[in-house]
Structure 1
Amino acid sequence: MLEFIKDIPQNQIRNVALKLPPVTHGFRRGQPPELQQRVRQFVAGIRRWTDKEWDLFQEIWLLWIRCNPELDAVLAQYDNAADFEGEALTPANSSLDIGCFDLLIQASQEWKVSRETIQRFYTFGYFLTDERIEQTIRQARPQADFQLLRELTVLNNQVQQIVDCQ
């Protein structure tokens, strides 16, 4: 979970970390090392989390999504309002949740979101373990493919500049 939180820029996670209990010994209060220790202690206490801590983790999860603008843009297009209508709670992994992953895979095929980002969204989200979702995620393009495309694009641009100069 710490790796997930480390994906969030320091200046973004700071506001959340300040809501956690301060570290009492060995750190200057409010400084980055102390805030990092607050987050480590928060994560270490996961088995004892109350609703308040789970609400704070939800805030972290939403912050992580906003720090992944490509993912955030795809999710903003998806209408899952029906999961929140009425009095009854809709269980995790509803048909709308499954549909969301289908949309994410489509976005991955369009070079917008990597498999690793989708996997983290699934792993640290509210979803239950589900073979259907995991099979769907395996269809997404890996981050290595995104890196290769970036490198090929740069190479193509360099070749084009050489051709244009001749």
Structure 2
Amino acid sequence: MRYGTRRLAICSALAAGALALAPTAEAVTPTTATISFDCGAYGSGSATLTATQSGTSAVINVSTSAITAPISVGANSVKSTLTLTNKGTGTVTFTGNSNPAIPAGSPVSTGPLKGTVASGDSLVAKSLKVVVFGITATCNATSAQSPGPFVF
């Protein structure tokens, strides 16, 4: 075998091996789920959770009619913590203080809420804590997450 042909064969084999070992893109399923929350004196209603994943990092955005803004809320002024159960036992929290501007009387949207996940995690929303202008609303899930848990 000539030097150039041998070199091409070795480089091709190395490239094929590198592709075989390259990490695959991970995806969460489903990407959108709904659940109902009871927020005590602040109200109750449904919430839409939208999840994305990149490796061990995940992001969940929350939009809920369970809490409405009594006055206009500026962008990036809502601090939120979403707690999810993992396979019915442990918990995982997603946190953030990012939100779009929310007009008075409108449902609260918050996110991206960031968290860390492991392959095989199966997460169901348990509670949502929202802090706006120093006032804390704690919401507890009152329904099953539909269509089911977020599986990472």
TM class by smaller structure: under 0.3
User: TM-score, structure 2 length as denominator?
Assistant: 0.20
Greater fraction of residues in helix: 1
User: Which structure would you say has the larger RCO, counting Cα contacts within 8 Å and 6 or more residues apart?
Assistant: 2
Q: Which has the larger radius of gyration?
A: 2
User: TM-score, structure 1 length as denominator?
Assistant: 0.19
